[in-house]
């Protein structure tokens, strides 16, 4: 999970309070959320408009632009109505309050832990652990697809970091490699939180600026 800056103006069609998936709501969400689910940070499963806070018939919550998020079925189904950290709220520093331990082989167990011991962070971590590891037979099969994706992303990042550390490349080549690393760490890239964690843990923070 990473922090997202949401478009401030809500699509006009939401004012009618008839259909929360009206006109360009989904398109706008796809731009703001970089086309990926805000929970698992992938686009492996089809994404849809999710109510961050369950509306339970409350019209305001149902059509409130800031309550509409882009989430995939796999994650939505695990989160249900649990209150979790809001990645679109800049006061919730989701990247630094949660620790992401990536895997480098597909059989590994993804470890997500809370750096901040408040209920919201702990509940978010519990959801993320289920999302990445599964807790039922079906969810474990879907979680495996995400794990495979984590391994693939890590392989690419490792290869780039290996090239970056070699002296055989000239200045121009190093600039290109650095550009590729930064692309992999950009919010628009998948599973960014895992890759940024590796960078932070290895004193390469300058690559995040």
Q: Residue numbers of the site for Zn ion (CB under 5 A)?
A: 37, 39-40, 72, 75
- The Cα 142–Cα 65 span in angstroms is 29
Q: Least separation, in Å, of the C-beta of 94 and Zn ion?
A: 14
**Is the CB of 71 or the CB of 154 nearer to Zn ion?**
71
**Is the CB of 37 or the CB of 98 nearer to Zn ion?**
37
Q: Least separation, in Å, of the C-beta of 66 and Zn ion?
A: 20
Q: Least separation, in Å, of the C-beta of 102 and Zn ion?
A: 17
**Is the CB of 12 or the CB of 148 nearer to Zn ion?**
148
**Is the CB of 69 or the CB of 97 nearer to Zn ion?**
69
Identify the sign of the CA torsion 40, 46, 51, 57. Answer: negative
Q: Least separation, in Å, of the C-beta of 174 and Zn ion?
A: 35
């Amino acid at each position: 999970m990473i922090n997202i800056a949401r478009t401030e103006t809500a699509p006009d069609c939401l004012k009618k309070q008839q259909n929360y998936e009206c006109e360009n709501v989904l398109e706008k969400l796809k731009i703001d959320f970089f086309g990926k689910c805000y929970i698992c940070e992938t686009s492996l499963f089809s994404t849809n408009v999710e109510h961050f806070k369950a509306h339970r018939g409350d019209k305001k919550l149902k059509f409130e632009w800031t309550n509409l998020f882009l989430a995939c079925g796999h994650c939505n189904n695990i989160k249900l109505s649990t209150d979790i950290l809001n990645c679109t709220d800049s006061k919730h520093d989701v990247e630094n309050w949660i620790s992401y331990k990536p895997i480098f082989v597909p059989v590994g167990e993804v470890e997500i832990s809370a750096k901040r011991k408040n209920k919201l962070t702990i509940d978010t971590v519990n959801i993320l652990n289920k999302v990445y590891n599964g807790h039922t037979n079906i969810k474990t099969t879907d979680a495996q697809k995400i794990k495979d994706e984590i391994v693939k992303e890590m392989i690419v990042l490792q290869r780039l970091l290996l090239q970056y550390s070699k002296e055989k490349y000239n200045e121009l080549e190093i600039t290109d490699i650095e550009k590729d690393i930064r692309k992999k760490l950009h919010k628009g890239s998948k599973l960014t939180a895992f890759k940024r964690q590796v960078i932070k843990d290895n004193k390469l923070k300058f690559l995040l600026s």
